[in-house]
Amino acid sequence: MEDFFLIAGLGNPGKKYDNTRHNVGFDTIDMLSYKFGIKVNKLKFKALTGEGSIEGKRVLLLKPQTFMNLSGESVREAVEWYKPSLNNLIIIYDDIDIPLGKIRVRAKGSAGSHNGMKSVIYQIQSDEFPRVRIGIDKPPENWDLADYVLSKFNEQEREVIDNSIKRAAEAVVTIIKSGTEAAMNLYNG
């Protein structure tokens, strides 16, 4: 469907993971949900979902509830149901290879070290879809990667990240309105 967009933010379900580095994808979905009045509260496709419209296009907002490493199962079920063009599948997630707070939009590409993205690419058998990555920076020396991505932001970092989440949500809207290329030009600076 050309006028339909499936927008998935990756994260881990449950209060204990709220506001962690790994959940900025969820936070961005929450921001879109708030901004466009789309309630993300139906349990479907192993995810919390909400249908609505952004820029006159139908959208499904998706927060997989499978835990990060199995995010692809949820995304695949939604893709099989709605059959969006892969250009209209947008995945939002955290990236340790990008400095804190920076946003990167890409039209396609590998998962890098991100297990949630590895799962998505494996499950839908393609990496040809746009993604919005939010930089959370590398872990400090001697920090275990898993502990780091599951840690919460400190106050200064939170301010930076809240701004990034807003920009990531705007980048998603730009992809819907004007395409991935336009969003890359605007947000990859």
Condensed to tens digits (0 to 9), the pLDDT of residues 119-175 reads 999 999 999 999 999 999 999 898 998 899 899 999 999 999 999 999 999 999 999
Cβ–Cβ < 8 Å for 163, 115: no
The encoded tokens of residue 55 equal: 């820029």
Give residue-wise pLDDT tens across range 164-176.
999 999 999 999 9
Specify whether the backbone of 169 is left (phi greater than 0), alpha (psi in -120 to 50) or beta.
alpha
pTM, to two decimals:
0.96
Give residue-wise pLDDT tens across range 32-87.
999 999 999 999 999 999 999 999 999 999 999 998 999 999 999 999 999 999 99
What's the N-to-C CA distance of the chain in angstroms? Answer: 31
The total number of residues shown for the chain amounts to: 189
DSSP H helical segments within the chain, as ranges? 24-36, 71-82, 115-124, 145-149, 155-178, 180-187
Rounded to whole angstroms, the maximal C-alpha distance in the chain is 48
CA distances from 119 to 8, 16, 90 (A): 13, 22, 15
Query: Domain spans of the chain?
Result: 4-187
Active site residues: 22
- Pick 4-187's CATH classification: 1.10.150.20, 3.10.520.10, 3.40.50.1470, 3.40.50.1220: 3.40.50.1470
